[in-house]
Structure 1
Amino acid sequence: MPKYFFILIIAMFTFGSQFAHAEPTVIRYPRPAAKTDSHFDYVQELLTEALSASPNKYKLLPSKATMQQGRAVHEMKNGTGEVDLLWSMSTDEREKSLIAIKIPIDKGLLGWRIPFVIGENRQMFKTVRTLHDMENYSAGQELDWPDVKILESNGLKVSTANSYEALFSMLEAGRFDYFPRSIMEIWKEQEVHAGKNLVISQDIALHYPAAYYFFVAPNKLQFALDLTNGLEILIHNGQFEKLFLKYHQSSIQKAGLKHRIVLELQNPFLNPANMPLGRSELWFKP
């Protein structure tokens, strides 16, 4: 048997051994500053399932320091390695600088908002019928959230805070009138902040076009491809819908959107032409 054949066999075993013991690629996501991330359990299970079929192995770790959205986007754009993956509301600007995986993991729920108010103002929106009726009320938002510009562009007043947790105390202190939260967030937040004088208004909902995507740093193209392929597999085998309902069906039911006045807002910061609106299975409809 030729000598080169043995060399080839040895090389194959050596390569196979190296591949089998290859260290997974570390992918970092922003360590949240909030006491609890109402999205994290869902996102974590979705990521685990989506990446399970990938031939490349990944290890997901939080960033070393807590990080707000604006800082995370900056780190990803500049390829510092501090953050490689972000899940957030999309904007045209973010889609230009990062790799947007255009599968709305929230099915658009992030654009369906109902408000926290202080206890004595639980009837504050009882007579609201149009967006014009909201102009005298001030909403609270974190400074670098895309929602700030969306609300302002629709003529609504917005007060901002430098941190998410501060918003609950600011609302309780009367610094603004309401804190609009997604129906996929608000019920968990109510539990976490049960000690505060905050209630969920039962009268209105705000709605604007929104998509909650995974964003990947431009220098992590292979990870973006593997994640996209994994998510598409979950969509086609029905696991995506099962996970979505597992985490969000109860919140949707509690929101009672059909019994609320829905105020429609425009979102000039996300071009509908760039959204996968033709895939009806990816969008929630009340």
Structure 2
Amino acid sequence: MSGSVAFADTTFIRYPRPAAKVDSHLDYVNELLTEALAFSPRKYQLLPSKATMQQGRAVHEMKNGTGEVDLLWSMSTDEREKNLIAIKIPIDKGLLGWRTPFVISENRQMFKAIKTLRDIENYSAGQELDWPDVKILENNGLKVEKANSYEALFSMLEAGRFDYFPRSVMEIWKEQEVHASKNLIISQDIALHYPAAYYFFVAPAKRQFAEDLTNGLEILIRNGQFERLFLKYHQSSIQKAGLKQRTVLELQNPFLNPANMPLSRTELWFKP
């Protein structure tokens, strides 16, 4: 009987089932959510959606309150913040905006002489079609080839359909392991950087959950656990990326208003 009472007291929260073979963010996000929700007076159980789901579809389901998805972690845009509840704590500390490129191994020297953004205008980048990065890159005058799925991008790069696949410092090393059979390497010469924030987004229908998650995350920031978890999962990637040794190409991000970002909370942002 006690089991059924506990079940009745539990709110189920659904997140998009990832399409990737290995989601490089999932372990970190899971631990962060578990730690933050441990402070909640209410019980929550997180479950993946029934089907795999891309970002665009997840945002649509959440905005329309279908109950298919209640929680998403993704790069923020002004539009997403308007339609969903954005918890404005950058769980990536802005690291998602620091990008290093995959190239095929024969092109390891391709970016050696690059000094400015204009120098890479003739090279094409690969991205999944509903990622916010597509518009950011295009808005900065860069060419983008779009794929319907994340996994397809690795094969398309290997086949020469585009020249480079920029991935965040927090993703690229795990992706290299997973796709080790492909003829791809991480270019050592450049990094792209644009203002970005990786937030938890909650469906408007789950306001109480958003409040409980926010409170839990703020406690983790205050007690130092947020920083410890961030370093546990990302310190090695940051060191391997060697951003200070790279030519950093700065891009504008017109789809995220800096005035709406918690930039004054400097402890929440990564600086190389």
Structure 1 length-normalised TM: 0.93
Q: Secondary structure at the match of 2:21?
A: coil
| Matching residue within 41, 63, 68 for 1:77 | 63
The superposition leaves residues 18-64 of structure 1 with CA deviations (integer Å, 9 ceiling, x where unpaired) of 97664310000000111010000000000000000100000000000
Structure 1: distance between partners of 2:10 and 2:179? 38
| Matching residue within 140, 145, 149 for 1:154 | 140
Q: Which runs of 5+ in 1 are unaligned?
A: 1-15
Aligned match of 2:22 = 36
| Matching residue within 81, 92, 115 for 1:129 | 115
Aligned residues: 271
Aligned match of 1:11 = none
Aligned match of 2:103 = 117
Check 1:63–1:34 CA distance in 2 against 1; reply closer, same or farther (3 A cut): same
Q: Secondary structure at the match of 1:195?
A: coil
1:205 paired with 2:203, answer no
- Between structure 1 and structure 2, the one with the greater Rg is 1
Aligned match of 2:235 = 249
- Shift of residue 17 of structure 1? 11
| Matching residue within 144, 147, 170 for 2:130 | 144
Structure 1: distance between partners of 2:18 and 2:207? 24
- Shift of residue 169 of structure 1? 0.1
Q: What percentage of residue pairs aligned between the two structures are identical?
A: 86
Structure 1: distance between partners of 2:7 and 2:178? 42
Amino acid at match of 2:245: H
Structure 2: distance between partners of 1:134 and 1:20? 57
Amino acid at match of 2:10: P
Q: Secondary structure at the match of 1:185?
A: helix
The superposition leaves residues 133-182 of structure 1 with CA deviations (integer Å, 9 ceiling, x where unpaired) of 01000000000000000000000000000000000000000000000000
Q: Secondary structure at the match of 2:199?
A: strand
Q: Which runs of 5+ in 2 are unaligned?
A: none
| Matching residue within 211, 214, 221 for 1:228 | 214
- Shift of residue 215 of structure 1? 0.1
Check 1:122–1:56 CA distance in 2 against 1; reply closer, same or farther (3 A cut): same
The superposition leaves residues 179-215 of structure 1 with CA deviations (integer Å, 9 ceiling, x where unpaired) of 0000000000000000000000000000000000000
Q: Secondary structure at the match of 1:35?
A: coil
RMSD: 1.3
Q: Secondary structure at the match of 2:27?
A: helix
| Matching residue within 12, 15, 19 for 1:26 | 12
Structure 2: distance between partners of 1:99 and 1:113? 26
Q: Secondary structure at the match of 1:144?
A: coil
Structure 1: distance between partners of 2:41 and 2:243? 42
1:68 paired with 2:54, answer yes
Aligned match of 2:182 = 196
Structure 2: distance between partners of 1:133 and 1:154? 12
Structure 1: distance between partners of 2:6 and 2:12? 17
1:104 paired with 2:90, answer yes
Aligned match of 2:154 = 168
Amino acid at match of 2:47: L
Q: Secondary structure at the match of 1:220?
A: helix
Structure 2: distance between partners of 1:18 and 1:117? 53
Aligned match of 1:95 = 81
Q: Secondary structure at the match of 2:204?
A: coil
Q: Secondary structure at the match of 2:111?
A: coil
Structure 2: distance between partners of 1:49 and 1:57? 13
Structure 2: distance between partners of 1:19 and 1:282? 39
